[in-house]
Amino acid sequence: MKIILKIIGLYLKLINSLSAKIGGKHAFYIFCSPFSAKITPKQQSFLNTAIQEEIDVEGEKIKLYKWGEGKRKILCIHGWRSNTYRWRDYINALSQKDCTVYSIDFPAHGNSDGRFWNLLKGEASIKATINHIGVVDTFIAHSVGCFCSLYFFDQNPSLQPNKIVSLASAGRVHDFIGEVQRMLSLSDREIKNLMDYFISYTGKDPDYFDIENFFSHIKTKALLIHDEEDPDTNVKYSKRLNELYKDSELVITRGLGHKLRSKDILQQVVNYVTPAK
């Protein structure tokens, strides 16, 4: 992997030396390329237990999965380089609790079409899903999926759920740009070219894509869970979300990392989504 990253970095340096605009564009699309792992036979076997549909999102087909027929509708949103299978334990638990559980594979992830993913594609995918299945009671989201869900709520206030479960939320696009710079050893000039193309593509400065800017319309309740030692997304973002959300509960863990794999966490989420009467 280090060799591949070095080759990509050298390639971008060469392109940027020839053209700032083309170099910025190429860097942007590499920035938006998840290079997701293929779904294994074991994972596909579980996914095949769902009712499956495809939804058109800007000319690409994304996969929609459904389990259960309960009254409470849940939508699960995965993170970067992930797919619906990461929700297996949640799906198994909630589909037994009078819930209908939906999940999507984002573009360029899982069984969906596409080679690129970014926040705008994610927001469009969630919007197309909600327009197809109707407003849901609860979002359960992980990492970048949380960040994207917050952006979706802000952009589509009438489609907000009643609750969100946020697991290890990301908080700023600039964090990802900084990680790309570090991994590919890009110069500040090369990053500036990337950001210039980012602005031309999104119509907004990267500074806009920050959880601080997504709360003018959000009214959902929230359960926020984050590990104190998360190596991928800083716990400070969930702490800040706890301050921004008027009605939220914050759970800080230790030793569970970014994925938050734990029977205790699963049970807390199930209890929050399906409270005892």
Same domain, 49 and 183: no
Count of beta carbons in the 10 Å neighbourhood of residue 51: 12
For residues 184 and 244, membership in a common domain is answered with no
- 36 pLDDT band, cuts 50/70/90, is confident
* Domain CATH number, residue 132: 3.40.50.1820
Half-sphere exposure at residue 177, Cβ-oriented, CA atoms within 13 angstroms: 23
Is there a single domain that holds both residue 194 and residue 106? no
pLDDT category of residue 35 using cuts at 50, 70 and 90: confident
Residue 276's pLDDT band, with cuts at 50, 70 and 90, is confident
Identify whether residues 135 and 13 lie together within a single domain: no
Average pLDDT value for residue range 155-167: 97
Q: Which residue has the higher pLDDT, 35 or 165?
A: 165
Same domain, 18 and 76: no
Task: Work out the end-to-end distance of the chain between its first and last CA atoms, rounded to an integer number of angstroms.
Answer: 51
Amino acid identity, position 273: V
202 and 86 in a common domain: no
Residue 93's CB is within 10 A of a number of other CB atoms, namely 18
pLDDT score, position 2? 82
Judgement on whether residues 53 and 145 belong to the same structural domain of the protein: yes
Residue 203 burial (CB count, 10 A):
9
**Is residue 166 domain-shared with residue 258, that is, in the same domain?**
yes
Structural domains counted in the chain: 2
Domain that holds residue 266: 40-171+211-273
Q: Is 83 in the same domain as 179?
A: no
Record the tokens describing residue 95, joined without a space: 């589909």
pLDDT in tens, 164-185: 999 999 999 999 999 999 999 9
Q: Where are the beta strands (DSSP E) in the chain?
A: 51-57, 60-67, 72-77, 99-104, 138-142, 163-167, 221-227, 248-253
Last residue of a domain, one of 208, 235, 259: 208
pTM of the entire structure?
0.96
Same domain as 164, residue 94: yes
Residues 88 and 146 placed together within one structural domain of the fold: yes
| Same domain for 182 and 78 | no
